[in-house]
Amino acid sequence: MNPLILFLAGGYSFWVGLMLISALLIPTSQRPSSLILKSLALFAGLILIAVSMTPIAIWWYAGLLVASIYWLIAYRTKQPLAERQSLARRGIAVCLLSALVLEWPYAVLPKVPVPEHRTLVILADSLTAGLEENDFTWPERLAERVDSPIEDLSHVGAVVKDGLTMIENVDLDGKLVLIELGGNDLLGSTPADEFHRNLNELLQRLTAADCAVVMFELPLPPFRYDIAYAQRSLCNRYDVSLIPKQYLLRAIAGEGKTVDSLHLSEQGHVQLADFMESFLQPAFSR
């Protein structure tokens, strides 16, 4: 997979953008060359954060923009005032610190919810189901390693709406449900409002079934804030544990892990099975 796509889809550009903007807090001389370098770092950081479309609160984006404009005014005027420069630095610092508070929880692996019954139900698309009938998928590999039932309901081409069909005749009471859906919604033409509606209904039904739910966060292309925000807001509403998108990307990124840049090869299935075995261990070890 293209390294640039991984850099953007994995959300890494957001953190690099914050690091570049943090250069504004480093004390330097007032020489034009220093101000030019800092201004370039600011613009580069803003661009990287913008294309990442990290689903952080809109007010944070607005605050960062205002603080950035004020910094440019405070430092680029012919007779800059020390008080204005100090206020500009404090504004940038507040934005950076609030970004860490708001976004860091979504960058670390959550604790897996422990279900009442040690059964895993998987709702997923072809990334999990595989492309060929003889594919030895990661759920099949995981089933050989854990002493718990695994119900793999994944199928090729599935979108979030199909998750509702998958669970129609399934007893979910007290089980652990893993969702790996949404990629085909992104690659297809599902509007953001329809994605939100379908995911809301799916999570609502799962919550009503009294099961624990875990979902892979979607690695997103640039400018899909709407999909990303819908997923996070709904997972927060229904107390769904989100697996940070970089963990799914690690199974996709790298030579030999996919057969077509999207679907897992044998090596990719092995790596994802290894991760899931480690991640789900607390739910299966009672």
Model pLDDT for residues 119-156, shown as the tens digit of each residue: 999 999 999 988 877 889 999 999 998 888 999 999 99
> pLDDT-derived band of residue 2, with 50, 70 and 90 as boundaries?
low
Task: Establish if 207 belongs to a structural domain.
Answer: yes
Domain stop point among 63, 79, 106: 106
- Checking if the pLDDT of 277 tops 60, the result is yes
Q: How many CB atoms lie within 10 A of CB 211?
A: 22
Predicted local distance difference test score (pLDDT) of residue 78: 60
Is the sign of the CA dihedral 72, 7, 97, 31 positive or negative? Answer: negative
Average pLDDT over residues 192-203: 95
Do both 210 and 85 map to the same domain? no
Do both 163 and 261 map to the same domain? yes
Predicted local distance difference test score (pLDDT) of residue 188: 79
Do both 198 and 268 map to the same domain? yes
The structural domain count of the chain equals 2
Q: Which H or E run contains 179? A: strand 176-180
Do both 224 and 96 map to the same domain? no
Supply the angle between the helices 12-21 and 32-52 in degrees, to the nearest 10. 160
Do both 130 and 245 map to the same domain? yes
Do both 101 and 128 map to the same domain? no
Distance, CA of 192 to CA of 186 (rounded, Å): 9
- Checking if the pLDDT of 178 tops 90, the result is yes
Domain stop point among 60, 77, 106: 106
Q: In the numeric block, which tokens belong to residue 86?
A: 């100090």
% of the chain at pLDDT higher than 90: 54
Predicted local distance difference test score (pLDDT) of residue 159: 94
Task: Establish if 79 belongs to a structural domain.
Answer: yes
**In terms of pLDDT, which residue wins out, 80 or 153?**
153
Task: Establish if 112 belongs to a structural domain.
Answer: no
Predicted local distance difference test score (pLDDT) of residue 1: 57
Task: Establish if 264 belongs to a structural domain.
Answer: yes
pLDDT tens digit string along 19-33?
999 999 988 767 778
Average pLDDT of the chain?
A: 89
Q: Tell me, rounded to whole angstroms, the distance of Cα 111 from its chain centroid.
A: 16
**In terms of pLDDT, which residue wins out, 257 or 93?**
93
Task: Establish if 146 belongs to a structural domain.
Answer: yes
Do both 161 and 72 map to the same domain? no
Task: Establish if 63 belongs to a structural domain.
Answer: yes
Predicted local distance difference test score (pLDDT) of residue 64: 96
Predicted local distance difference test score (pLDDT) of residue 80: 61
Predicted local distance difference test score (pLDDT) of residue 164: 94
Q: What is the DSSP letter of 263?
A: S
Do both 169 and 101 map to the same domain? no
Domain stop point among 54, 76, 106: 106
Average pLDDT over residues 152-175: 92
Task: Establish if 60 belongs to a structural domain.
Answer: yes
> pLDDT-derived band of residue 225, with 50, 70 and 90 as boundaries?
confident
Task: Establish if 115 belongs to a structural domain.
Answer: no
% of the chain at pLDDT higher than 70: 97
Helix (H, G, I), strand (E, B) or coil at 241: strand
- Checking if the pLDDT of 40 tops 70, the result is yes
Average pLDDT over residues 66-72: 93
Q: What is the DSSP letter of 77?
A: S
Do both 140 and 232 map to the same domain? yes
Do both 140 and 204 map to the same domain? yes
Is the sign of the CA dihedral 36, 40, 41, 43 positive or negative? Answer: positive
> pLDDT-derived band of residue 217, with 50, 70 and 90 as boundaries?
very high
- Here the CATH number for the domain that contains residue 136 is 3.40.50.1110
> pLDDT-derived band of residue 222, with 50, 70 and 90 as boundaries?
confident
Distance, CA of 128 to CA of 123 (rounded, Å): 9
Distance, CA of 38 to CA of 266 (rounded, Å): 46
| Contact (Cβ atoms closer than 8 angstroms) between residue 155 and residue 186 | no
121 phi-psi bin (left φ>0, alpha ψ -120 to 50, beta other)? beta
Distance, CA of 211 to CA of 267 (rounded, Å): 31
Do both 243 and 267 map to the same domain? yes
Do both 124 and 247 map to the same domain? yes
Domain that holds residue 28: 3-106
Distance, CA of 30 to CA of 41 (rounded, Å): 16
> pLDDT-derived band of residue 103, with 50, 70 and 90 as boundaries?
very high
